[in-house]
A and B are shown apart, each in its own frame.
Chain A
Amino acid sequence: MKPVAPYLLLPVIMLLAFPLMSGPSWIALTVAGLAMGMMLFLMASGLALVFGLMDVLNFAHGGFITLGAYIAVSVLAPLTGWVNAGSWELNLMARAAAMLAAAIVSGAAGLAFEAIVIRRVYGAHLQQVLITVGGLIVADQLIVAIWGTQPLPLQKPAVLRGSFQLGGAAIETYRMAAVVLGLLVYAGMHFILNRTRIGLVVRAGVENREMVEALGYRITRLFVGVFVAGSALAGLGGAMWAQYQETVTPAIGAEMMILVFIVVIIGGLGSIGGCFTGALLVGLTANYIGFLAPKLALGSNIALMVLILLWRPRGLFPVGGR
């Protein structure tokens, strides 16, 4: 039943890039691409699920990314000592606190946003787009009012700052950590979606919301939960990306949202597996092309999206009858 070709795209792109560069560069870029892909996945997964489940496309999703990034800054500022300490425990604690806070605050913001804005425009696509864009403007302005427009520095934890050798390539420790954390989150989501009742209901709801309701599940409540979880993941992704970049600007969410949209379009809106594949594809392409032809890096992901849409108009893994 499942198409095989979309799954092959990832290894094909990795293999295509291999002869174009030296082995160590390839390893380093692949790790960097996967790390970026994992962070993109965190940011994109909530958007994709919310769309799949409720047919709601939240253009304000980028606001949660920005919020998460700034919360990380604010939490880490008083913890500078922990961040710079050379000890795993203190580093980890600071990092965990920042990420947890980013996820919780973004999740709470998501809860409020759903109740105030989204809930009123179910089923009305045009209004949805407009009202979420309006919401994004307001959210961005509030963030600027609180944290200002100047870029704020953000330090990686001391133990994650350096790099290590792998196959002759210097791999940044932070990237490896991002890959590991991304994989953990993916595994967690995979587990929840495929091994729990809630996940089963979510997957069913993405395909046929009405039938899930006719089976007695209160899907609107579930949707709020998914919306909050998606916002929290976006905040987490924003916090990780900010630490990766070591700086935060108010535009961080808007910049990442462009890539997030490309990810969900490539992946097929509503599919978690597609979202994961799409995120890795975008991350890898950005890094390979950025190395091979820096001038083309900007357009490479858009070109990737266009090519994929020409090949499969509904994305790699379309869901449901939409």
Chain B
Amino acid sequence: MADLLLTLSGVHTHIGPYHILHGVDFAVPDGEVTMLLGRNGAGKTTTLRSIMGLWTPTAGQIRFAGQDIAAMATPEIARLGIAYVPETMGIFTQLTVRENLLLATGPAGFKPHKLAEVLALFPVIELKFNQQAGGLSGGQKQMLAIARAIIEDRRLLVIDEPTKGLAPGVIVQLIEGFQRLKAARTTILLVEQNFEMARALGDSVAVMEDGCIVHRGAMADLAADTALQEHLLGLSLGALQ
């Protein structure tokens, strides 16, 4: 088994008066794709936001590359090499596509080979390079968001429901993109409702319910066990396929 890059142990998070996470435990192995599944409202987004320091956990540990980041501020966490793609994609609509990407680069700006790599992965970005990002379609915005996450070498990508609201054709394109990232042994923590995509990409899987992890294991095992799928995720996920 690969080294664990990110480990959450006993993470509790409150948002205002609400207790959302009730002791979340799971780990993301280095060089693998870890899927975080669960129904709506199970606490997946809160878990990702807690990792990024956008909510500060009230208890528990979040270790990234041997360092406890639970109490760190968001910019410091990001600087450790974590890229985050929120559910809302976080595209700056008033900026151009180029500026959106440039924001994620180091002080020296674009590295030509990385830029070429990203543009090869999502050719549409090159076409719209100097246009305002607000004019992109939903799928294009999502590709830009992922492109922004990989325009520099990161140790971990944290991605929240990239297929949400996208047309099936676009989802296929996204899956292809992720498969190339997976092939390059990029470490990814991916929240997804689309089980097809989870099955195609995931190495390991964690399933959440009511702010807790209720299942952990290999993606292949869960994919093979329909009864378990139904028990953990309900029929709604299957229906999405």
Contact = CB atoms under 8 A, between A and B. Distances in A.
Interface in A211-241: 211-219
Interface residues of B, number: 23
Interface in A169-221: 197, 200-201, 203-204, 206-208, 210-219
A219 B75 contact: yes
A317 to B, nearest CB: 10
A228 to B, nearest CB: 20
Given A1-B134, A210-B54, A210-B90, A200 B95 contact: yes
Contacts of A92: none
B155 to A, nearest CB: 13
A219 B74 CA distance: 10
Interface string B42-84: 0000000000101000000000000000000111001100001
Nearest to B74: A213
A122 to B, nearest CB: 14
Given A1-B132, A211-B86, A200 B103 contact: yes
A35 B75 CA distance: 41
Contacts of A217: 75
B75 A201 contact: no
Interface residues of A, number: 21
A200 B148 CA distance: 15
A319 interface: yes
Interface string A14-51: 00000000000000000000000000000000000000
A216 B79 contact: yes
B21 to A, nearest CB: 19
B94 A319 contact: yes
A320 B52 CA distance: 22
B103 A214 contact: no
Given A210-B54, A214-B86, A204 B78 contact: no
B171 interface: no
B197 to A, nearest CB: 23
B52 A214 contact: yes
Most chain-A CB neighbours within 10 Å: which of B78, B103, B135? B103
A207 B134 CA distance: 12
Interface in B89-128: 90, 92-95, 99, 102-104, 107
Contacts of A320: 94
Contact of B78 (A201, A206, A214): A214
B75 A200 contact: no
Q: What are the 6 A-B residue pairs with the smallest beta carbon separation, nearest first?
A: A211-B90, A216-B78, A213-B74, A214-B84, A216-B79, A218-B75
28 contacts: A1-B132, A1-B135, A197-B107, A200-B103, A203-B94, A203-B95, A204-B92, A204-B95, A207-B93, A207-B94, A208-B92, A211-B86, A212-B103, A213-B73, A213-B75, A214-B54, A214-B78, A214-B86, A214-B90, A215-B103, A216-B75, A216-B78, A217-B75, A218-B73, A218-B75, A219-B75, A319-B94, A320-B94
